[in-house]
Amino acid sequence: MDTTLQDPLVGQVLDGRYRVEARIAVGGMATVYRAVDTRLDRVLALKVMHPSLAVDGAFVERFIREAKSVARLAHPNVVQVFDQGTDGSYVYLAMEYVAGCTLRDVLRERGALQPRAALDILEPVLAALGAAHRAGFVHRDMKPENVLIGDDGRVKVADFGLVRSVDTVTSTTGAVLGTVSYLAPEQIEQGTTDARADVYACGVMLYEMLTGDKPHSGETPAIVLYKHLHEDVPPPSAAVPGLAYELDALVASATARNADVRPHDAVALLAQAREARAGLGEEQLDATPPQARSAGHDNAEDRTSVIPRALTVLRPLPVNEDEPDEGGAGGADGVHRTSRLAAPPPPPLPPRRRGVRPRLLAVVTAVLLVLGVGAGVWYINTGQFTTVPAVLTQTEQQATDRLADAGLGVKVERDFSDTVERGRVISTDPGPGSRVRGDASVTLVVSQGPQTVRVPDVTDTRLDKARERLKAEGLAPGLVTEEFSDDVLKGFVISSDPGPGTDRRAGSAVALVVSKGRPVEVPDVTGTDLEDARAELEAAGLRVTVAAEEVNSEFDKGEVAVQSPEADSRAAEGDTVTLTVSKGPVMVEVPDVVGDSVDDAKEALEGAGFKVKEDRGILGFFGDTVKSQSVDGGDTAPKGSTITITIR
């Protein structure tokens, strides 16, 4: 039965925009739907918070605030957040829809993965978390359900709904948010979370990918929490003999119970993962994992939960076998306040049964029948079909060899990538895990590295045309500086940096040096008649403009009082020189200083705005009295002109 038919939101339009088409998944905090944005006509995922949590105003406010922060996190391995809003009692996030499956789906179907496949998944997860950590966010709920594997093989991290600022030490006295199987010890014991909690969860996920099982299990969540606090995550090789030491060391580093011993964030763990991969040989990377167990997966511990703090403080179990457990069957309240838990009694042995021989004969017969039928099923389902192996990020040669070993043909296409190293596989078509016929071909898309553009030659090109050319080639016009040039016309490009023919990443800026034209020495035209000054400047290749206001100066009326640029400076041919015309000098009454001492006379004249020149002659060498002055006292003279005093 299709349970989505019973969901009241299916078929509804949220916020007048998002038409809910089907329910995808239900988690501990929200339900995820496939929906259509009716405004943009695109398919997206709609995550709607459970009504029981939506009534908590503080929780909703934090959910909205942190969702807005995560929406600014742009990374190819992070599920993008498009929108956030509310519609009545519904609080939702509109997110990128990734067609594919989750890592949990892969683990349920296959069990343990080859080390190469596990690292192929882990590394993009760490790249996404690393970008979040460096941007100031902690995920806080990393688990296989939140790792999406697209049909094209791309890996994306989803559900940053519990995200928190790296700089904010989360401490909750009432509850711990998260998923029991992936909680770090400090989350359980102290309620504190930073980037190292995400590192711990990734270490648990890596163990699970390598072994097919979680490192800690128990009948109740409390037992799992206790093991996180008091037991180290075992080395994967203990469950899967033959796994490389480097993988054991990687898991141990990420899941150290002491947070200070772990890598400080996902970027540091990613460096360790790549180092571990580099230390493994091809056989070690492709080691065949044990067959996946057929038992169904109980996902009770995989849901994001609001875990009561009382559950994270462990209490002693009753020591009297006859004493009932206070919390009831499957509950967590029976875990009391000590550092240990009593082990559950072993299950009773099954009673001896009679009639073994007839039953054994029936079992053998059934097994033979199953083997016969199984061979036919294998031929139909497996003999004719092949699963496309995961070859993402492998070199072209490695990927080609691996596909050939699987009996598949290979076609190669190339594309640019800012994230995948040149010569390595970006994606495959069909994607990893797809079932294809044994004689089918797989198209490899191999990275050419970041898209590069050859810088065009824009020298001797007018600036506006040079900018258009750079944009057309996929480059950005950068800083423009000007220089004089005897050879390049004014406004045309002299050179570029980087120079023509240089390969640069698309979108890179190219700086341009533009000609100011031929340099011209600006002549001195101050004190010259305006028209004569204009003729002299134009003859030098300069333009002339006259300031609207005239000024008083030492020059006669109608002569040039000020010029800009100043005399003897350099200007470009065609530049403009501004001339300011004189209104003539300011006439000032000359003080009478005859009979005054030299010092007093100079003080009076200079105070009136004149320059002073002393004429002592032979007789006045030792004198100190002014006998005469060049302009009589009481007459006027141009301000700034020189008055000569004769000293005897």
Q: Distance from CA of residue 258 to its chain's centroid?
A: 29
Alpha helices by DSSP H, listed for 395-445, are: 396-405
Listed in sequence order, the residues at least 6 apart from 101 whose beta carbon sits closer than 8 Å to its beta carbon are 148, 149
Complete edge-to-edge strand list for the sheet that includes strand 493-497: 476-483, 509-515, 493-497
CB atoms within 10 A of CB 84: 18
User: Is 529 known to be catalytic?
Assistant: no
What distance in Å separates the CA atoms of residue 484 and residue 541, rounded to the nearest whole number? 14
Catalytic residue among 120, 141, 159, 248: 141
- Report in angstroms the alpha-carbon separations of 611 from 591, 614, 633: 12, 10, 15
Beta carbons of 420 and 388 less than 8 angstroms apart? no
What distance in Å separates the CA atoms of residue 153 and residue 149, rounded to the nearest whole number? 6
Q: Distance from CA of residue 90 to its chain's centroid?
A: 30
Match 């020298």 to its residue by tokens.
459
CB atoms within 10 A of CB 639: 15
Region of 357 please: left (phi>0), alpha (psi -120 to 50) or beta. Answer: alpha
What distance in Å separates the CA atoms of residue 267 and residue 141, rounded to the nearest whole number? 17
What interhelical angle do 266-278 and 245-254 show, nearest 10? 170
Q: Sign of dihedral through CA atoms 433, 437, 439, 443?
A: negative
- Report in angstroms the alpha-carbon separations of 552 from 579, 588, 637, 639: 14, 12, 14, 10
Strand runs (DSSP E) across 416-528, as ranges?
A: 425-429, 435-437, 441-447, 452-454, 476-483, 493-497, 503-505, 509-515, 519-521
Match 């492709």 to its residue by tokens.
286
Angle at 420 between CA 449 and CA 116, to 5 degrees: 145
Angle at 125 between CA 121 and CA 131, to 5 degrees: 155
Match 């035209």 to its residue by tokens.
525
What distance in Å separates the CA atoms of residue 648 and residue 645, rounded to the nearest whole number? 10
CB atoms within 10 A of CB 642: 13
Match 């044990």 to its residue by tokens.
290
Name the burial class of residue 618, with classes exposed (0-12), middle (13-18) and buried (19+) by CB atoms within 10 angstroms of its CB: exposed
What distance in Å separates the CA atoms of residue 89 and residue 52, rounded to the nearest whole number? 10
Strands 570-572 and 519-521: antiparallel
- Is the peptide bond preceding residue 236 cis, with omega within 30 degrees of 0? no
Question: Looking at beta carbons, which pairs linking 535-539 to residues 24 or more positions away fall under 8 Å?
Answer: 537/577
Listed in sequence order, the residues at least 6 apart from 499 whose beta carbon sits closer than 8 Å to its beta carbon are 455
Angle at 319 between CA 313 and CA 323, to 5 degrees: 100
Residues tagged active-site: 141
